[in-house]
Structure 1
């Protein structure tokens, strides 16, 4: 789901420290194993829901990783039994509903900025997914180069059934991975795609045993780290440029579409029905 934040995270840093690995992160955990960096979502009290603070830290970590030549692979992971419940709906509604339309338009760049930052990391990125990966968390996962998903896990985009569009720069990636028809099914119906469907549709690259996604992602990372880094980065850049050649033409309006949808009666009805655990009654208004 769409989330919003204008929060800038500033971390303590002493002279001679590594800005990425020595920072006092609050909602993520960052570690290193030789040339592999691991970034773990760490907001267990909210099932790793993407509030403004968590999104800001993930974005900052990605920007610090972007051009590092000593990091060859980056693993993004969640908890042992879940990846993330998606964008924090309450925080999103509060922030987007405040101020002018112009201020709201700026606020909802937090999600697109997050996905763009992870998309621009030059090292190969691998998402390790256990349990559920929902909404904005799914958008973040498809911003990585590869996805390894545990048996029994699933990915789901609930936005459209809740009365909003799917944004966060996600649609071009889904079309490139799954093709037009499957992308439409996945986004429109908002149904969970289990591990086997994710693999069959190209949304995942490997299905690991339950609880084994991180170990499998580490094998992928080690395989990448053993390759010559220069042609690997050239290949990533070239493939991304080809697959996203027309992406900007399709996503430049998605935050304005969200701004429109979030002020509709159908959006209010979708959210109310979700909270009241009842079928929604949409009227196209």
Structure 2
């Protein structure tokens, strides 16, 4: 099994900063099921780590992530799964984003190149996001006949508000530039190209210099208040995804993506 994720600890003030690097070495950094498992395990590895206050998550130099890997052999087995197996398999994404959101440490994403689909879902589960000036984000799920899942809609809604969230998700072909992402509230800082990681580490050092227990308790309080009602709606997005995956529009969307042509949706 190939390791897509590496962890380095003991950085920054008092050694309280850690870096999690996700890099498949292919310039695309797609989220295969195995990558989802490794990233989830990376987040969970900090559960009993009282020495780390901040975790910086970064991707490859050219891409944070291209989102879910539609060409992965395990992922393509979805089309032959029964509904029960499909629902269990579809929980990999929500499990990943929840693991990162619920970390006690402050989390910061360093985004270069492109951040697409599941990459955006992972990014909005973090506390802060720093993006390179020439990078962009995009949410293509609806264009593939799917819904934006992984409990991402409430998180995006908290950051951007209703109209911008609809714009980002429904207009699936729209690239969100770094400048737009900052204006919309989707990211907190724009860095020079190639410098997102450095800027994220600078922010991490500032956080790590604060009293660790006070920081952790404040994060927990803010998250509990902000996300208290999210499960009332977002719990259903796995079933929405499972339902959407059975539609002709989904089959057409994926086929068009793989064949690099414009899809023809028919609402069925």
Superposition TM-score tier, normalisation by shorter sequence: over 0.9
Q: Which segments of 5 or more consecutive residues in structure 1 lack a partner in the other structure? A: 1-8, 10-24
- Counterpart CA distance in 1 for 2:247 and 2:75 is 13
- Tell me what 1:13 maps to: none
Structure 2 residue corresponding to 1:136, chosen from 118, 124, 146:
118
Q: Which segments of 5 or more consecutive residues in structure 2 lack a partner in the other structure? A: none
The DSSP-based 3-state class of the residue aligned with 1:263 is coil
- Tell me what 2:205 maps to: 222
1:70 aligns with 2:51: yes
1:110 aligns with 2:87: no
Deviation beyond 6 Å, 4+ runs, structure 1: none
Q: How does 1:3-152 map to 2 (within 5 A)?
A: 26-32=3-9, 33=11, 34-45=15-26, 47-91=28-72, 93-152=75-134
Question: For each residue in 1:45-99, what CA deviation from the matched residue of structure 2 results, as whole angstroms up to 9, or x when unmatched?
Answer: 2621111111111101111113421000000001122211111012365232233
- Tell me what 1:195 maps to: 178
Question: For each residue in 1:207-259, what CA deviation from the matched residue of structure 2 results, as whole angstroms up to 9, or x when unmatched?
Answer: 00000000000001000000011121111111111211210011111001000
- Counterpart CA distance in 2 for 1:99 and 1:128 is 35
- Counterpart CA distance in 2 for 1:221 and 1:147 is 11
Normalising by structure 1, we get a TM-score of: 0.89
Report if aligned partners of 2:27, 2:63 keep a CA contact under 8 Å in 1.
no
The DSSP-based 3-state class of the residue aligned with 1:282 is coil
- Counterpart CA distance in 2 for 1:239 and 1:53 is 31
- Counterpart CA distance in 2 for 1:145 and 1:95 is 33
Residues matched between the structures, number: 262
- Tell me what 2:234 maps to: 251
The DSSP-based 3-state class of the residue aligned with 2:115 is strand
Over the aligned positions, Cα root-mean-square deviation in angstroms equals 1.4
- Cα–Cα, structure 1 residues 46 and 88, in superposed 2: closer, same or farther, change >3 Å? farther
